[in-house]
Structure 1
Amino acid sequence: MSFPKYPAYKNSAVEWLGNIPTHWKVLELRRLMPEIESGVSVNALDNTPEDGIPSVLKTSCVYTGYFRPEERKEIIQEDIIRAACPVKSGRLIVSRMNTPDLVGAAGLSQESFNYVFLPDRLWQVKINNIDPKFAYYWTQTQVYRDQVKAACSGTSSSMQNLSQDKFLSFILPVPNNEEQKLIADFLDRETEKIDILIAEQQRLIELLQEKRQAVISHAVTKGLNPDAPMKDSGVEWLGQVPAHWSVGKLGYYTVTTTGSTPDRNNPSYWNGDIPWVKTGEVMYQDIYETEEKISDLALQQTSCSLLQPGTLLMALYGQGVTRGRVGMLAVEAACNQACAAITTDSRINPRFLELFLTKAYEHIRSLGNETTQQNLNLDFVRKLEIVVPPFAEQESIVDFLPEKLRAFESLVNDVKLEIDLLQERRSALISAAVTGQIDVRGLAEAVA
């Protein structure tokens, strides 16, 4: 629906801001005397501690545009005394150093955490005489992001820094305090409605992906013939499989190796023509391009080896969902030591094995060394139990699944597009309200 405009507007005298309501002001942050605090760098463990345990925030605590205090790490005992700046209620938590897309990212702390401290890459900001939620919504607008982009500097295009002086020069359109509260309350109501719709769409994607995984799982463990006699595979997580299928260890049917990393201090090993794969690039997709490339000299003088198209890569370690993922080389390439390179023999169709390892992902992630990341190694990979249908049957399964899976991918893409449109609507609504392009003062809570 359309929202009403203010009765009258004036020129803001700021070209990129345009017109604002006649009774609004345009102020630099420094005129509002914001209180900016910063933490210090402390050593911390990888785990998320229980409430009450001294901890330091990760910069990821504001990546989503919300403040998430659960994104924190336990401070080691020796450094607790050095921790500074506990989180206070009603403060903006701002990332002052990050990638171009995330520097300046902000969230609002709505309660105090005396045991949760800021690192040196986060600020805690209180803008005097400004409703904290109004200030927060301002940080979610394009006019704020444009100012961040113009103000940031850095020697690397991948890491930018926002100085306090530049931050204090930011322009903020300011209505009176009562109106700030009305705008914040309106946006709370309306963004909550949109967020509920987004959450429903995200849940639909999860359900579609679960159904997709179930189709893969059934095909690669039960086959395409519903009348085939079954037998116990002897492997608990596999259950029953067709009676004429074999079950064995992956290492019996493949040659499995790892790659390596050439000396970073030798420039002649880098920026060549040979793609060099890292674990983050192993993502259930065929691998054509890589972020980094190595030279022929690196192949000759280091333990790197050239892998052929059709080689299956598995991420042996990595944070989050990386460990256990697979992807297939579509070009000649090398890989680092965190990847297992799997070459199948004549009994295994590599595409079938790729699909099977996709089904086996959760089981694979349960394996590994007892470290913070539960790293895998070649021994674990070679001992992984796999099913081996007759080769012709593998080919039938490989031919059958893509068409089935494309239908799921199409549905998921449609839902993602809907989410994008909802997020655009959310951002546009916030920007319009915070810059005075719509007048929400007389709107009832029932506004849809």
Structure 2
Amino acid sequence: MTRMKESGIDWIGQIPQEWEVIKFKYLGDVKQGLTYSPSDIVDKDEGILVLRSGNIQNGVLDFTNNVYVKTKVAESIVLRKNDILITARNGSSALIGKNAIIDTDIKATFGAFMMVFRTNKSLIAKFAFYLMNISFNFYRTFFTTSTVNQLTAAIFNGIEVPLPSISEQQKIADFLDKKTAQLDKVKSLLEEQIQKLKDYRASLIYETVTKGLDKTVPMKDSGINWIGEVPEGWGVSKLKFILEKGSNSIKVGPFGSSLSGDAIRSSGKWVYNQRNVLDNNFTETDFYISEAKCKELKNFSVSSGDILLTTRGTIGRVAIVPKKYCEGIIHPCLMKFKVDSKIVLPELIKYLFNDIPLVREQLNFLSNSTTIDVIYSYNLKNIIIPTIPIAKQYSILEVLDRQTSDVDSLIKIKQKQIENINKQRQTLIYDYVTGKRRV
């Protein structure tokens, strides 16, 4: 039986008697990434590869979206085999600490929002990789401030970790490689099954909202390539022709200067933001303003039946303000619009925007771009959607709600299985890198 001792570190707990606790700064060197300007970016054959956060996917390197630069690169930040590449700064706090081992010889460096940990002879890189993926979970609160999400060299160097002998590090790393690979294989199969269910769900919705429920109805050309044929009695229309009448039927969120940080409160009237839409959450929010500020910005206030649309970041997603809602306004990153419910039901709009590529592809086309960062009201007004007799819309929604609910239930079951695998994986790594279980 292994004799244990107290490590003195809460997250580590007890460790084997012969192990020690040591800070990362004594186990290697941190290297800061390359700063470059847009004018330095060149074609693949003209410069050096710069790895960024997007080049790390699920703990391994991904070379799908590469950037090359032509500029002077110090030898110390040219990547070496067994370097550990870490996301040090990012707009999303969840991505801070994302890392991967440089497991091949490549000619590359890394960007300024990244850092590299280069282990010394006391630490095996793969064991360090597992240590990071456990220890970062316990230090994550130090990665986020009110102004920036970052893992600094000082914070990283100060992280204390358990350290066995080199030979045991190797045994643990080899064992965890094998066991995590088994878990990852099961997880990958579940993810494939989820994607197939999502694809089926999307095809079901697309077929129903463009072809209808009755397959015996004669079809006609819609005149729109990406919609194709539609049933007799249906049509197509630009969104601007089915909006509710009135000057306030579509409204972009207030300018940022109208809603500065000084106006935000810890309680008061709601500021509906992107998270509310993405999560379809109308029970809680992160931002509030005073009643006086809400009255000042009354033109941006929400009401039941409004369709809220994300216009930045994850764009083109919608949510419908329910009958019971909290008084408030929209954030600058949102737009609100209201459709004429005698022509189209808001719930159908939700399916068209959120669940099939019909609207997103048009936004890309209207913006003359394949990756758009912002939606403008004039683009939104020119979106073309199928127009369906209102009675048939109710029938379509009834069928879609039932069928998609069945698919969603299956997806949730598989997502729960993945969640359990992730927990099992983390527990496995934790137990072995802290010596609670031995190889």
Residue 328 in structure 1 maps to residue 282 in structure 2 = no
Residues 66-108 of structure 1: CA distance to partner in whole angstroms, max 9, x if unpaired?
Answer: 4556666555x6xx34777232221222345567655444332
Letter of the 1:352 partner, please give it: L
Q: Which has the higher helix share?
A: 2
Residues 367-409 of structure 1: CA distance to partner in whole angstroms, max 9, x if unpaired?
Answer: 2324684343222222222222221211222223222221111
Q: CA deviation at 1:296?
A: 4.6
Equivalent position of 1:388 in the other structure: 387
Pick which of 36-45 and 243-252 moved more: 36-45
Mapped partners of 1:308, 1:416: distance in 2 = 34
Q: Is the CA contact (8 Å cut-off) linking 2:131 and 2:161 kept in structure 1?
A: no
Q: Where does the alignment leave 5 or more consecutive residues of structure 1 unmatched?
A: 1-6, 441-448
Local SS of the residue matching 2:278? coil
Q: Is the CA contact (8 Å cut-off) linking 2:251 and 2:300 kept in structure 1?
A: no
Equivalent position of 2:231 in the other structure: 242
Residue 92 in structure 1 maps to residue 84 in structure 2 = yes
Residues 309-331 of structure 1: CA distance to partner in whole angstroms, max 9, x if unpaired?
Answer: 2111333443xxx2222222233
Mapped partners of 1:284, 1:165: distance in 2 = 32
Mapped partners of 1:284, 1:130: distance in 2 = 42
Q: Is the CA contact (8 Å cut-off) linking 1:92 and 1:106 kept in structure 2?
A: yes
Q: CA deviation at 1:117?
A: 2.4
Counterpart pick for 1:308 among 283, 303, 307: 303
Equivalent position of 1:352 in the other structure: 348
Equivalent position of 1:275 in the other structure: 270
Q: Is the CA contact (8 Å cut-off) linking 2:363 and 2:380 kept in structure 1?
A: no
Q: How does 1:18-417 map to 2 (within 5 A)?
A: 18-21=13-16, 24-29=18-23, 32-44=26-38, 50=44, 53-54=47-48, 56-59=50-53, 61=55, 64-68=58-62, 73-75=67-69, 80-81=71-72, 85-96=77-88, 101-119=94-112, 122-141=115-134, 145-146=137-138, 148-149=139-140, 152=142, 155-156=145-146, 159=149, 161-164=151-154, 167-168=157-158, 170-175=160-165, 177-254=166-243, 255-263=249-257, 269-271=263-265, 273-279=268-274, 281-283=276-278, 285=280, 287-298=282-293, 300-301=295-296, 304-318=299-313, 322-330=314-322, 331=325, 332-345=327-340, 346-358=342-354, 359=356, 360-370=358-368, 373-374=371-372, 375-417=374-416
Local SS of the residue matching 2:395? helix
Pick which of 216-225 and 111-120 moved more: 111-120
Mapped partners of 1:195, 1:88: distance in 2 = 26
Local SS of the residue matching 1:410? helix
Q: Is the CA contact (8 Å cut-off) linking 1:275 and 1:293 kept in structure 2?
A: yes
Q: Is the CA contact (8 Å cut-off) linking 2:93 and 2:143 kept in structure 1?
A: no
Residue 9 in structure 1 maps to residue 3 in structure 2 = yes
Q: What is the percent sequence identity of the aligned residues? A: 21
Residues 338-374 of structure 1: CA distance to partner in whole angstroms, max 9, x if unpaired?
Answer: 5442211122211122223333244234323246843
Mapped partners of 1:216, 1:303: distance in 2 = 36
Q: Is the CA contact (8 Å cut-off) linking 1:273 and 1:295 kept in structure 2?
A: yes
Q: Is the CA contact (8 Å cut-off) linking 1:348 and 1:391 kept in structure 2?
A: yes
Mapped partners of 1:361, 1:119: distance in 2 = 36
Letter of the 2:157 partner, please give it: F
Mapped partners of 1:71, 1:311: distance in 2 = 38
Mapped partners of 2:103, 2:273: distance in 1 = 39
Pick which of 345-354 and 50-59 moved more: 50-59
Pick which of 50-59 and 303-312 moved more: 50-59
Mapped partners of 2:416, 2:117: distance in 1 = 35
Distance 1:249 1:69, change over 3 A: closer
Distance 1:40 1:48, change over 3 A: closer
Letter of the 2:228 partner, please give it: G
Pick which of 59-68 and 386-395 moved more: 59-68
Letter of the 1:229 partner, please give it: P
TM-score, normalised relative to structure 2? 0.82
The count of corresponding residues between Structure 1 and Structure 2 is 423
Please report the RMSD computed on the Cα atoms of aligned residues, expressed in angstroms.
Answer: 3.5
TM-score, normalised relative to structure 1? 0.80
Residues 13-33 of structure 1: CA distance to partner in whole angstroms, max 9, x if unpaired?
Answer: 5464454445x4214136845
Residues 205-230 of structure 1: CA distance to partner in whole angstroms, max 9, x if unpaired?
Answer: 11111111122222212222232222
Mapped partners of 1:165, 1:390: distance in 2 = 61
Q: How does 1:436-447 map to 2 (within 5 A)?
A: 436-440=435-439
Mapped partners of 1:326, 1:276: distance in 2 = 16
Q: Is the CA contact (8 Å cut-off) linking 2:33 and 2:109 kept in structure 1?
A: no
Pick which of 367-376 and 41-50 moved more: 41-50
Mapped partners of 1:163, 1:182: distance in 2 = 29
Distance 1:329 1:111, change over 3 A: same
Residues 265-322 of structure 1: CA distance to partner in whole angstroms, max 9, x if unpaired?
Answer: 866744374433344543273645443234454455458422322111333443xxx2
Pick which of 328-337 and 160-169 moved more: 160-169
Q: Where does the alignment leave 5 or more consecutive residues of structure 2 unmatched?
A: 244-248
Letter of the 1:326 partner, please give it: V
Q: CA deviation at 1:113?
A: 4.1
